[in-house]
Amino acid sequence: MPEDFVPPPQNQAPPPPPPYAVPPPSFPPPYPNYPLQYVPPRRRSPWFYVGVIGGSIATVVLLFTFMVWMTVRSATGSAALDLGGGSRIAVIDISGVILSPEEIDTQLRKFGEDSSVKAIILHINSPGGGAAASQEIYHEVLRVRQENHKKVIASIESVGASGAYYIASACDRIYANNASVVGSIGVIMEWTNYGDLMHWAKLKSVAIHAGELKDAGDPSRDITPKEQAYFQGLVDNMYGQFIHDVATGRHSTDAKIKPLATGQVWTGEQALPLGLIDKVGGFRNALIDTARSVGISGEPSIVRPAKNKRSLLGLLTGDADDIFPNPSQLLNRAPGFYFMWK
């Protein structure tokens, strides 16, 4: 055995742990070894199932009611649900230039047939528009009054002139503010003569027609004396219709209305003694008076037509001319007859 070998000491204690050492954790003994037992699931009360089934049925009924209401709303064009048992006043806005009677006639027809609507107010802020369009709305107002037995009231806001006044004259009563613009009973025919523009651009209009007056009103040339007399006759005829219809609607005579049919306008304050309106007052006055006249006490419920909102997708997929008018259409304007205040 080599001399440098030193045997390890016997029964020597292990070296002490360093001062920073953490003693090992001591855990409690495991849970007692109890025997396993079967625990049956808790049975729910029968009322729990009654509540679940009842809630499901109530939800289905509410959804069905909502769907029916949406269907009725779409069919009637109403913007509100009738909760007053037939005590509503319908309000139809007539604003801007009147170009087509279709939308207003449809609203009048639907509200006229709606038994929950007791009266209709035409809230007017318009200088008029197309002669035929204004006349058609006028006759629809008379029809609703006569066939549906509904009161139709006109409330003029800022402007109720020419074709707009034509429509108002068919109503049971006309309200206007003191500073409202009323009247302008008259007819105008106009078009744009762009003959000089075509001459400058070295363009020529070519028309082949049969009938001496077939191309009357050609905007590429000046009007002839015969064409002037021809168009004046048409305007005079429409003018007479305007006077007669206003006289009929206002329970007056043509002889009394004709001196007022100069095309001029009056304020509401001036129009009252002339018999062109029935009362000076705003929309609120017209609403309350109308409600009381049809037996509605308290604050009347107002219903308006549902508005057609165009989505972004509709704008993108629709006719581009609705967003960006084609300049060439400005040169395609035919002569038109208007009941409109300029």
Catalytic residues: 162, 214
- Write the single-letter amino acid at 53: I
What is the spatial distance between Cα 246 and Cα 136, in angstroms, rounded to a whole number? Answer: 14
Q: How far from chain centre, in Å, is Cα 122? A: 13
Strands (E), 28-167: 88-95, 117-126, 128-130, 151-161
Distances (CA, A) of 322 to 3, 234, 267, 297, 313: 114, 32, 35, 45, 14
3 state DSSP class of 175: strand
Give the other-Cβ count within 10 Å of 128's Cβ: 26
**Rounded (5°) CA angle 92-298-287:** 25
What is the spatial distance between Cα 165 and Cα 177, in angstroms, rounded to a whole number? Answer: 14
Q: What is the DSSP annotation of 83-116?
A: -SSS-EEEEEEEES-B--SHHHHHHHHHHHH-TT
